[in-house]
Amino acid sequence: MIGAMRDSAETLLASGIQLAGWIRAGEVTSVAVVDAHIAQVERVNPVINAVVHDRFDAARTEAQAADARLAAEGPTALPPLHGVPCTIKECFGVQGMSWTSGHVARRDVRADTDAVGVARLRQAGAVVLGVTNVSELCMWLETSNRVYGRTNNPYHPAHIVGGSSGGEGAIIGSGASPFGLGADVGGSIRMPAFFNGVFGHKPSGGLVPNSGQFPIAHGDALRYLTTGPLSRRAEDLMPLLRILAGPDGHDTGCEAYHLGDPATVDLSSLRVLDLADDGRTRVHPELRGAQRSVADHLESLGARIEREPIAELRHGVEIWSAMLDAAGGTKFGVMLGDGTQVSLARHLLLWALGRSPHTLPALGLAGLERLSGITSGQLGKFVAMGHALRAELERRLGEHGVMLYPSYPVPAPKHYRPLLRPLRFGYTALLNVMQLPVTQVPLGLSTAGLPLGVQVGAAHGNDHVTIAVALELERAFGGWVQPARA
């Protein structure tokens, strides 16, 4: 009997590609898969607050239509994600759904159309369950805003989920979504993937169009902002990337690139740059140990390990900030003020009284933007340093190289702790302006029960190489671990 061969527990552990195969083979129905994930969202969301606007009724209707299409047309004519549920970061337009980016001034905004990435996933057969929480205007590594509140870590609710795709990382990490869509301009895919124990891929700059998200970058920064997938299983990353990639006629930073095949990557021929830290911030010993284990494993396969430090890494935040600034675009304080520079004095007073529509991190970022004091000479210095560093990394990585680099200095901190040391996001942010493809890989749990992980980067256009390494590391180290609370 159709739908009797796979139970709901299995569907909550499978990859999207595996689920699609089961649906096509008649081992489970799309309705059963969608219902199982909806039930899991309803189970975990009261604690983690990840899905902020659902479309469960519409998703069930679409699942019924998917099953009817299978019965009418057979399995061979179906798209690759036929009947498989997913979730979407709320900064992307999903027709009829909230589209606030956590900004109170947009509280009542609903998307008229799907963003390009969303449309491509739906054309590939995916069924959207809902949209997930973000940090205010997608510019901080804690997911909290005055529209939807705070999102909590599925492994330990007292800890952060990262940002700005924090809701996406949390709902996938909880087992309630097999994959989702995120965006990353300073680590906003990779930090949530790391803190929530799942896979995340920041594509090469210019590979995937960013159209249909708010806020959106402009000019050269369109290649620093990247749209990409998060998933609980590594095997989904490359199929999702192929679905998402390619120009759309609107994103001027997007170009057509040839995507390689992870199956063709010879791991024994890899050159591995094992970069233990940025030379500025000490990394937690369990993260250092996990990264060293990864390097040792790749070496056991025949890879050549290099550990020569790169001095410029210590200036990651400055390089990222300078290159974004040089790219132009609307200032964060103006976005926060909904078109005019936000009054920091007024809103800090309102915040102290519990009446500001803004979060403290957002006000702090607007203040840092105005008080950074960076001169034109310093700006030019760090931009030049960034361009030189990118050339150096591309040279050292070549066609057969990857870099291992910490995702963040510590496992997921408790809520508000990042405010005490706000510049630690340089580990991820720097790689945006380098335009490198980077895959975030989970590596089990710490002694405190929090996810460990590592970033795997490669030369521009070599997305398939980092994903090939991710597939091997999942095989060797286990990948995503279902939270006990889920």
Angle between the N-to-C axes of helices 316-327 and 426-434, in degrees from 0 to 180, rounded to the nearest 10: 40
Amino acid letter at 252?
T
CA distance 382 to 345: 30
Angle between the N-to-C axes of helices 30-48 and 56-73, in degrees from 0 to 180, rounded to the nearest 10: 160
**Residues 187, 175 contacting (CB under 8 angstroms):** no
**Residues 328, 219 contacting (CB under 8 angstroms):** yes
DSSP secondary structure of 443-484? EEE-TTS-EEEEEEEESTT-HHHHHHHHHHHHHHH------T
Amino acid letter at 105?
A
CA distance 437 to 331: 26
Q: Which runs of consecutive H residues, i.e. helices, occur in 251-410? A: 285-300, 316-327, 332-336, 344-352, 360-371, 376-397
**Is 89 a known active-site residue?**
yes
| First and final C-alpha spacing in the chain | 29
Q: Compute how many other C-beta atoms are within 10 angstroms of the C-beta atom of residue 363.
A: 20
Coil vs helix vs strand at 48: helix
Exactly one of 98, 165, 188, 204 is catalytic; name it. Answer: 188
Coil vs helix vs strand at 329: coil
Structural element, H or E, at residue 191: helix 190-195
Phi and psi at residue 227, to the nearest 5°: -100, 130
Residue 158's alpha-carbon distances to 147, 423, 426, in angstroms, are 20, 21, 24
Residue 229's alpha-carbon distances to 9, 28, 346, in angstroms, are 23, 24, 39
Cis check: omega of the bond before 164, within 30 degrees of 0: yes
Exactly one of 15, 30, 101, 164 is catalytic; name it. Answer: 164
Q: How many residues does the chain have?
A: 486
**Is 164 a known active-site residue?**
yes
144-145 and 127-132: which strand pairing? unpaired
Sign of CA dihedral 97, 429, 15, 463: positive
DSSP secondary structure of 270-309? -EEEE----SSSPPPHHHHHHHHHHHHHHHHTTPEEE---
Exactly one of 89, 174, 177, 204 is catalytic; name it. Answer: 89
Instruction: Burial-class residue 265 by CB neighbours within 10 Å (0-12, 13-18, 19+).
Output: buried
Q: Which residues are catalytic?
A: 89, 164, 188
